[in-house]
Structure 1
Amino acid sequence: MAKILCVLYDDPSTGYPKSYARDEIPAITRYPGGQTAPTPKAIDFTPGELLGSVSGELGLRSFLESQGHTLVVTSDKDGDGSILDRELPDTDVVISQPFWPAYLTAERIAKAPNLKLAITAGIGSDHVDLDAAIEHGVTVAEVTYCNSISVAEHVVMMILGLVRNYIPSYQVVVNGGWNIADCVQRSYDLEGMHVGTVAAGRIGTAVLRRLAPFDVNLHYTDRHRLPESVERELNLTFHTSAAEMVPHCDVVTINAPLHPETEGLFGEKLLATMKRGSYLINTARAKIADRDAVVKALESGQLAGYAGDVWYPQPAPADHPWRTMPNHGMTPHISGSSLSAQARYAAGTREILESWLAGTPIRDEYLIVDGGRLAGTGAHSYSTRM
């Protein structure tokens, strides 16, 4: 029998929901490009429930315990003596979400001799030391594509929120004011601007498709160039690197995975080459942008705005400078954890567990590391230090 350790974020401050704003969510069975949504043998939850918090348990307890497995669910993942550290030594499977990551460092993996599988309930497995996973024979899997469109929608919302100065204008209303000039002195139209994405995978391409109707000029850079038909359809301009692309853009959105080639990419040097008054959106990973360089660029006016929902570490400390820097639109890491997305990544987590527990192959598109090497999606999207 297996021990599964699931690290999830805390329940709402008002308690686990007894009802929801909507009675149902749309059923998504297939993603753009043809990949099917998760297809577990069964689910023990109602789509649209809060599954990503501790009490939601990703809907896994009944399934696992009915087969004699042990499920431990906690939000306590950091600091000396955390439940994560106490439970890890005899754990077979660790599940966590990018929004509340269980950082599986090389040190933690070395202290977990039974660990065989690390599952990301969502997408983005950089909270796992992939080199250490390869070295120790740990399989790493994620629910590829489950919340890519969720994140793409969040990116478009943030772009419009910054360019149109939405958040400060909303605050004027909340505070009982009506000074229109206060609101519009930083408000512009997105129409006609040049918008570029760093990486045009599932999320980046979905962002480009959603922005095309806004009559903007679209740019992208990616290690894998898109088909000519897609470039022609969306009227895209390809650039061989971020350094080549960003000087042309009014808005830049980062949609790349974090790995050695992207860590620290948006530092002082690259930010200085952007147009003065441009906007930077980062829903990928915080460490792709240099924390202090972003603050300085906003304070100097080099950036007109920065928005994202990724931080390092997560949760971010109360004194993190991104909380108080000017002209930002930060959220906690929520872009891929809508109730709609949770239904898919909970189902995908169960699908992965069903395969692993039965000794059958995990879907190739879910794999990041397997058999001591990068595999599946991991081989396409990640690089390692090894």
Structure 2
Amino acid sequence: MRLRCALLDDFQGIATEVADWSALADRVEVVPFREHLHGEDALVAALDGYDIVVTLRERVAFPAAVLARLPRLRLLVASGMRNSVIDYAAARAHGVTVCGTASSSTPPVELTWALLLGLARGLVEEHNAVRAGGPWQSTLGADLHGRRLGLLGLGKIGGRVARVGLAFGMRVSAWSQNLTRERADEHGVELAPTKEALLSGSDFVSVHLALGDRTRGLLGAAELALLKPTAYLVNTSRAAIVDQDALLAALHEGRFAGAALDVYDLEPLPADHPVRTAPRLLTTPHLGYVSRANYETYYGQAVEGIEAYLAGTPLRQLP
């Protein structure tokens, strides 16, 4: 009897196209799930008959309570080599092997700049106006050259975002709780003395921090109030770093020029979610890591990982 493998959140229907699954055909039945499974009960009901699950990023959580209800599950393959929503200890206790894949940071860097440029030049508004026969030139673009880009985080992604900002002729500052002057100097950026100084002095602020106890809710109402009236905020990192209610309130009240989001407290967003209708907000459906090259890596290495597991030699085990 063949094993069964579930491919979660295959929204575009390409999981079986960007990688060659034929090597598993006689041993594994592969079933893509085009729709997101909301809630633990729905997840358990859908995956009850599966031995292997391939999950994308951190959209679907596998806590101890879920793993305990999936006695048939033996292999969980996650995209990337870090996943904060899988209970690794519980997985081990239930005999579930967890493996990861490689992941490129290039796509989220590129998306960050797509969003920042979209905000600065009013691309959505102007595109819609042209297509609808509306006003010709209705926005006034915000310049990048000579303006201050403030980065919350200067890691792998933040560092690359910084280099692009410098290429645009921007003045770039960075801050995080662990950022040193040596690392800032290495990237050719200024070290902001405090989070507050970075927020109040920047024309564009971009978030590039890992989510943890110290960064959850890092930008609340008090912090957002420090932004200039002409400033823009971009978050392609983790939704919980920015207080969603405080952000929506600030946008509705016009406290700063605008924001762009690629990450949300609840994904996919419900049809009536307030983010969908908030003013001064550019939104994308968590596209940060969604690129053909990355998906070829994710699913190609998922196939490798399943083959290795079946051979008794698991690859890229987590954590």
* TM-score normalised per structure 1: 0.72
* TM-score normalised per structure 2: 0.85
In the superposition, relative to structure 1, how do residues 355 and 208 fare at CA in structure 2: closer, same or farther (>3 Å)?
farther
Among 188, 194, 211, the alignment partner of 2:142 is 188
What CA distance in whole angstroms lies between the structure 1 residues aligned with 2:228 and 2:135?
32
Does 2:155 align with 1:201?
A: yes
What CA distance in whole angstroms lies between the structure 2 residues aligned with 1:253 and 1:190?
14
Does 2:130 align with 1:213?
A: no
Q: How many residues align?
A: 317
Letter in 2 for 1:98: R
Among 210, 219, 237, the alignment partner of 1:284 is 237
1:79-90 to structure 2, matched below 5 A, reads: 79=39, 82=42, 84-89=43-48
Task: After TM superposition, give the deviation of residue 251 of structure 1 in Å.
Answer: 1.3
Among 128, 143, 159, the alignment partner of 1:171 is 128
User: Aligned with 2:309: secondary structure?
Assistant: helix
In the superposition, relative to structure 1, how do residues 78 and 61 fare at CA in structure 2: closer, same or farther (>3 Å)?
farther
Among 121, 127, 143, the alignment partner of 2:101 is 143
Instruction: For structure 2, list consecutive stretches of 5 or more residues without a partner in the other structure.
Output: none
User: Aligned with 2:234: secondary structure?
Assistant: strand
Does 2:207 align with 1:254?
A: yes
> RMSD over aligned Cα, in angstroms?
3.0
Among 86, 95, 112, the alignment partner of 2:70 is 112
Letter in 1 for 2:126: S
Does 2:297 align with 1:344?
A: yes
User: Aligned with 1:303: secondary structure?
Assistant: coil
1:78-119 alpha-carbon deviations (Å, 9 max, x no partner): 25863x4224345443212138x3332332122123444432
Among 48, 62, 66, the alignment partner of 2:22 is 62
- The answer to which of 101-110 and 236-245 deviates more is 236-245
1:361-386 alpha-carbon deviations (Å, 9 max, x no partner): 534xxx542xxxxxxxxxxxxxxxxx
What CA distance in whole angstroms lies between the structure 2 residues aligned with 1:259 and 1:131?
18
What CA distance in whole angstroms lies between the structure 2 residues aligned with 1:135 and 1:255?
33
Letter in 2 for 1:238: L
Task: After TM superposition, give the deviation of residue 326 of structure 1 in Å.
Answer: 0.8
1:271-317 alpha-carbon deviations (Å, 9 max, x no partner): 12333332111111222221111111112222311112212211100
Match of 1:102 in 2: 60
What CA distance in whole angstroms lies between the structure 1 residues aligned with 2:9 and 2:227?
37
Structure 2 contact 259–280 (Cα < 8 Å) conserved: yes
1:198-347 to structure 2, matched below 5 A, reads: 198-222=152-176, 225=179, 228=182, 231-232=184-185, 234-239=187-192, 242-243=195-196, 245-347=198-300
User: Aligned with 2:282: secondary structure?
Assistant: coil
User: Aligned with 1:208: secondary structure?
Assistant: helix
In the superposition, relative to structure 1, how do residues 201 and 232 fare at CA in structure 2: closer, same or farther (>3 Å)?
closer
Structure 2 contact 150–199 (Cα < 8 Å) conserved: yes
Letter in 1 for 2:172: L
What CA distance in whole angstroms lies between the structure 2 residues aligned with 1:123 and 1:153?
21
Structure 1 contact 196–219 (Cα < 8 Å) conserved: yes
What is the identity percentage for the equivalent residue pairs of Structure 1 and Structure 2? 30
Instruction: For structure 1, list consecutive stretches of 5 or more residues without a partner in the other structure.
Output: 17-50, 370-386
Task: After TM superposition, give the deviation of residue 139 of structure 1 in Å.
Answer: 4.8
Task: After TM superposition, give the deviation of residue 57 of structure 1 in Å.
Answer: 6.4
Does 2:83 align with 1:125?
A: yes
What CA distance in whole angstroms lies between the structure 1 residues aligned with 2:23 and 2:194?
46
Letter in 2 for 1:208: A
Structure 1 contact 98–127 (Cα < 8 Å) conserved: no
Task: After TM superposition, give the deviation of residue 232 of structure 1 in Å.
Answer: 3.5
What CA distance in whole angstroms lies between the structure 1 residues aligned with 2:10 and 2:95?
28
Structure 1 contact 98–123 (Cα < 8 Å) conserved: no
What CA distance in whole angstroms lies between the structure 1 residues aligned with 2:312 and 2:103?
24
Match of 1:39 in 2: none
What CA distance in whole angstroms lies between the structure 2 residues aligned with 1:139 and 1:221?
37
1:58-87 alpha-carbon deviations (Å, 9 max, x no partner): 636423233x234333234125863x4224
Letter in 2 for 1:4: C
What CA distance in whole angstroms lies between the structure 2 residues aligned with 1:205 and 1:116?
38
Structure 2 contact 11–34 (Cα < 8 Å) conserved: yes
